[in-house]
Amino acid sequence: MQLYPAIDLRAGNCVRLHQGDYAQETVYGSDPAAMASHWIDQGATWLHVVDLDGARAGHPVQAAAVRAIVEAAGAVPVQVGGGLREVEHIRAMLDLGVRRVILGTRALRDPAWTEQVVRDHPGRVVLGLDARDGLVAVQGWLETDTVTVAEVLARMVDWPLAAIVFTDISRDGTLRGCNVEATAQVARGATMEVIASGGIGSLEDILAVARAGLPGCIVGRALYDGRVDLYQALEAVRKTTS
């Protein structure tokens, strides 16, 4: 199982939000490239980056910070989401050296456009599926659609997506544990890998994801608050899944 340290960008800083609320922000650093290097030094083999300003604005805002992260990461792949709603946004990110782009709002509201993007970039597109009470959330989590997670999965059954990142918004930033049951249910209905996200607060939470057979887990606030040591977590996951 892959562990993805999360680097959320807002106004050039590395931050975390509580349950997706932009008014409940904690700043953890002002140097995204240094943060990327820090997690790689602890053993990270992937980085998960979100442009929070972009998610609200509907277009990339933190491209300079993303570029700095990619350069600092070197051979370690980076996946980036937040505000990628036009083909040129996606191409710009891939041109920066980003390995995978994460699509959210536009992907869910315009399936025909998304299918074309995914088929043009097989294995390079991740669907960010954020849900609240089983319904899909969009626009940087500021709105909840009437579309269910199951309906989204049914549309995309044969698309060459790299993965789905599934986030239960009610858990995100709470440190109360990932909604493993809901994530595993999504995985059973999906034809691509499903990465767990939202609520990881301890090593045991990470191991619960690993024991569920899920291929990946995004860890944010627990790393920044010192509740999880990345190196120790990677070692524990290896022992659990070997």
- Token pair for residue 124? 């390079």
Query: How many CB atoms sit inside 10 A of residue 241's CB?
Result: 12
How do residues 164-178 score in pLDDT, each as one tens digit?
999 888 887 778 899
Residue 211 has pLDDT above 60, yes or no: yes
Q: What is the pLDDT of residue 72?
A: 99
Least confident of 90-99, 105-114, 139-148, 192-201: 139-148
Active site (annotated) includes residue 8: yes
Task: Give the residue, 151 or 5, on which the prediction is more confident.
Answer: 5
In a 3-state reduction of DSSP, which class is residue 78?
strand
Give CA–CA dist 60/68, Å, rounded: 15
Residue 140 has pLDDT above 50, yes or no: no
pLDDT-derived band at 139, boundaries 50, 70, 90: low
* Residue 201 near residue 233 (C-beta atoms within 8 A): no
Q: What is 2-241's CATH number, 3.40.50.620, 3.40.50.880, 3.20.20.70, 2.60.40.420?
A: 3.20.20.70
Give CA–CA dist 230/31, Å, rounded: 19
Residues 47, 52, 56, 62: what is their CA dihedral angle, to the nearest 10 degrees? -80
Q: With pLDDT > 90 as the criterion, what percentage of the chain qualifies? A: 76
pTM over 0.85: yes
Identified catalytic residue from 53, 130, 168, 172 = 130
Least confident of 87-101, 111-125, 139-153, 177-191: 139-153
Q: What is the mean pLDDT of the chain?
A: 92
DSSP-assigned beta bridge partners for residue 27: 15
Q: What is the pLDDT of residue 185?
A: 92
How do residues 1-45 score in pLDDT, each as one tens digit?
999 999 999 999 999 988 778 899 999 999 999 999 999 999 999
Query: Which residues are CB-neighbours of 169 under 8 A, at least 6 positions away?
Result: 19, 20, 130, 131, 132, 137, 141, 198
Active site (annotated) includes residue 130: yes
pLDDT-derived band at 132, boundaries 50, 70, 90: confident
User: Domain ranges in the chain?
Assistant: 2-241
Q: With pLDDT > 70 as the criterion, what percentage of the chain qualifies? A: 96
* Residue 166 near residue 134 (C-beta atoms within 8 A): no
How do residues 43-98 score in pLDDT, each as one tens digit?
999 999 999 999 999 999 999 999 999 999 999 999 999 999 999 999 999 999 99
Q: What is the pLDDT of residue 138?
A: 63
Residue 141 has pLDDT above 70, yes or no: no
